[in-house]
Amino acid sequence: MQCAIAILCVLLSSWAATAQDLEEHTIKSNLEYRLAQGDLPQLSFGIENLKNVEVTEGGEELLRTCLADSVTWSQDPFLFRLAHAHAASIQSCRENRSPSMHAIFRQAPNEPLQVWVHMDGHGAQTSGTRMAHLGEFLYHKITF
Protein backbone atom coordinates (compact mmCIF):
# COMPACT_ATOMS: atom_id res chain seq x y z
CA MET A 1 0.00 0.00 0.00
CA GLN A 2 2.82 2.41 0.89
CA CYS A 3 4.45 1.67 -2.47
CA ALA A 4 1.27 2.66 -4.32
CA ILE A 5 1.04 5.90 -2.34
CA ALA A 6 4.70 6.68 -3.10
CA ILE A 7 4.13 6.08 -6.82
CA LEU A 8 1.02 8.25 -6.75
CA CYS A 9 2.97 11.06 -5.05
CA VAL A 10 5.72 10.87 -7.67
CA LEU A 11 3.17 10.97 -10.50
CA LEU A 12 1.31 13.91 -8.97
CA SER A 13 4.49 15.90 -8.38
CA SER A 14 5.69 15.29 -11.95
CA TRP A 15 2.26 16.33 -13.25
CA ALA A 16 2.39 19.52 -11.18
CA ALA A 17 5.87 20.33 -12.51
CA THR A 18 4.65 19.80 -16.08
CA ALA A 19 1.68 22.08 -15.48
CA GLN A 20 3.99 24.83 -14.21
CA ASP A 21 6.16 24.54 -17.32
CA LEU A 22 3.24 25.18 -19.68
CA GLU A 23 3.56 28.41 -21.60
CA GLU A 24 0.92 31.02 -20.85
CA HIS A 25 -0.73 32.27 -24.02
CA THR A 26 -1.86 35.81 -24.69
CA ILE A 27 -4.02 37.37 -27.37
CA LYS A 28 -0.85 38.32 -29.22
CA SER A 29 0.68 34.84 -29.04
CA ASN A 30 -2.57 33.27 -30.27
CA LEU A 31 -2.68 35.71 -33.19
CA GLU A 32 0.98 35.03 -34.03
CA TYR A 33 0.20 31.30 -34.04
CA ARG A 34 -2.75 31.94 -36.38
CA LEU A 35 -0.62 34.06 -38.73
CA ALA A 36 1.99 31.29 -38.90
CA GLN A 37 -0.36 29.40 -41.25
CA GLY A 38 0.63 31.90 -43.95
CA ASP A 39 -2.82 32.46 -45.46
CA LEU A 40 -3.32 35.98 -44.09
CA PRO A 41 -1.40 39.23 -44.64
CA GLN A 42 1.67 39.63 -42.46
CA LEU A 43 0.84 41.78 -39.44
CA SER A 44 2.92 43.52 -36.79
CA PHE A 45 1.42 44.11 -33.36
CA GLY A 46 1.67 46.95 -30.90
CA ILE A 47 -0.11 47.45 -27.62
CA GLU A 48 -2.05 44.50 -26.20
CA ASN A 49 -4.91 45.13 -23.79
CA LEU A 50 -7.45 42.79 -22.18
CA LYS A 51 -9.67 42.59 -25.27
CA ASN A 52 -7.48 42.99 -28.36
CA VAL A 53 -4.13 43.83 -29.90
CA GLU A 54 -3.30 46.90 -31.95
CA VAL A 55 -2.04 46.21 -35.48
CA THR A 56 0.87 48.53 -36.29
CA GLU A 57 1.73 47.20 -39.77
CA GLY A 58 -0.28 45.32 -42.37
CA GLY A 59 -3.68 46.69 -41.40
CA GLU A 60 -4.40 48.19 -44.83
CA GLU A 61 -3.76 44.84 -46.55
CA LEU A 62 -5.90 43.06 -43.96
CA LEU A 63 -8.76 45.51 -44.65
CA ARG A 64 -8.46 44.98 -48.43
CA THR A 65 -8.51 41.21 -47.91
CA CYS A 66 -11.49 41.45 -45.58
CA LEU A 67 -13.52 43.53 -48.04
CA ALA A 68 -12.59 41.51 -51.13
CA ASP A 69 -12.60 37.89 -49.92
CA SER A 70 -16.14 36.90 -48.89
CA VAL A 71 -15.15 33.22 -48.77
CA THR A 72 -12.67 33.83 -45.95
CA TRP A 73 -14.27 36.88 -44.27
CA SER A 74 -17.70 38.11 -43.22
CA GLN A 75 -18.39 41.76 -42.55
CA ASP A 76 -20.34 42.56 -39.40
CA PRO A 77 -23.59 44.40 -40.06
CA PHE A 78 -24.19 47.70 -38.26
CA LEU A 79 -26.39 46.06 -35.61
CA PHE A 80 -23.49 43.88 -34.47
CA ARG A 81 -21.00 46.74 -34.58
CA LEU A 82 -23.05 48.55 -31.91
CA ALA A 83 -21.11 46.61 -29.28
CA HIS A 84 -18.01 48.62 -30.27
CA ALA A 85 -17.13 52.23 -29.64
CA HIS A 86 -17.59 54.37 -32.79
CA ALA A 87 -19.99 51.80 -34.33
CA ALA A 88 -20.88 54.11 -37.20
CA SER A 89 -17.27 54.82 -38.17
CA ILE A 90 -15.75 51.33 -38.01
CA GLN A 91 -15.60 48.36 -40.33
CA SER A 92 -15.59 44.98 -38.63
CA CYS A 93 -14.74 41.62 -40.20
CA ARG A 94 -14.55 38.06 -38.91
CA GLU A 95 -12.95 35.02 -40.45
CA ASN A 96 -15.42 32.38 -41.61
CA ARG A 97 -13.84 29.72 -39.42
CA SER A 98 -13.72 28.86 -35.79
CA PRO A 99 -11.79 30.01 -33.92
CA SER A 100 -11.73 33.12 -36.02
CA MET A 101 -9.81 36.35 -36.19
CA HIS A 102 -12.00 39.39 -35.56
CA ALA A 103 -10.61 42.62 -37.00
CA ILE A 104 -11.91 46.12 -36.29
CA PHE A 105 -10.88 48.97 -38.58
CA ARG A 106 -11.36 52.70 -37.93
CA GLN A 107 -10.42 55.42 -40.36
CA ALA A 108 -10.79 58.83 -38.71
CA PRO A 109 -10.45 61.94 -40.89
CA ASN A 110 -6.81 63.07 -41.29
CA GLU A 111 -5.53 60.08 -39.27
CA PRO A 112 -3.94 56.78 -40.27
CA LEU A 113 -6.05 53.62 -40.31
CA GLN A 114 -6.43 52.14 -36.83
CA VAL A 115 -6.75 48.35 -36.60
CA TRP A 116 -7.34 46.04 -33.63
CA VAL A 117 -7.65 42.25 -33.74
CA HIS A 118 -8.49 39.39 -31.40
CA MET A 119 -9.58 35.77 -31.64
CA ASP A 120 -13.19 34.67 -31.19
CA GLY A 121 -13.87 31.16 -30.07
CA HIS A 122 -16.90 30.56 -32.26
CA GLY A 123 -16.63 33.04 -35.09
CA ALA A 124 -20.19 34.41 -34.98
CA GLN A 125 -20.89 34.08 -38.71
CA THR A 126 -24.49 32.80 -38.81
CA SER A 127 -27.55 34.48 -37.37
CA GLY A 128 -27.73 31.93 -34.56
CA THR A 129 -24.11 32.17 -33.55
CA ARG A 130 -24.19 35.96 -33.85
CA MET A 131 -27.06 36.01 -31.36
CA ALA A 132 -25.06 33.69 -29.06
CA HIS A 133 -22.09 36.04 -29.39
CA LEU A 134 -24.34 39.03 -28.60
CA GLY A 135 -25.67 37.19 -25.55
CA GLU A 136 -22.11 36.47 -24.42
CA PHE A 137 -21.20 40.14 -24.88
CA LEU A 138 -24.23 41.32 -22.87
CA TYR A 139 -23.53 38.78 -20.14
CA HIS A 140 -19.96 40.04 -19.78
CA LYS A 141 -21.07 43.68 -19.72
CA ILE A 142 -23.60 42.93 -16.97
CA THR A 143 -21.37 40.70 -14.85
CA PHE A 144 -18.10 42.62 -15.16
Complete edge-to-edge strand list for the sheet that includes strand 73-75:
44-48, 53-57, 114-120, 100-106, 90-95, 73-75
Nearest Cα to Cα of residue 37 among 120, 99, 125? 99
Nearest to 61 by CA among 52, 73, 79: 73
Report the percentage of the chain scoring pLDDT > 70: 61
The residue that leads in pLDDT, 114 or 135, is 114
Residue 63 has a pLDDT of 95
| pLDDT at residue 14, rounded to an integer | 57
Helix (H, G, I), strand (E, B) or coil at 25: coil
Distance CA 23, CA 140 (A): 26
Amino acid 134: pLDDT: 67
- pLDDT over 90 (residue 117): yes
- Over residues 103-108, mean pLDDT: 88
Q: What's the pLDDT at 1?
A: 60
pLDDT, tens digit, for every residue of 10-67? 555 555 545 445 668 788 888 898 899 888 899 999 999 888 899 999 999 999 999 9
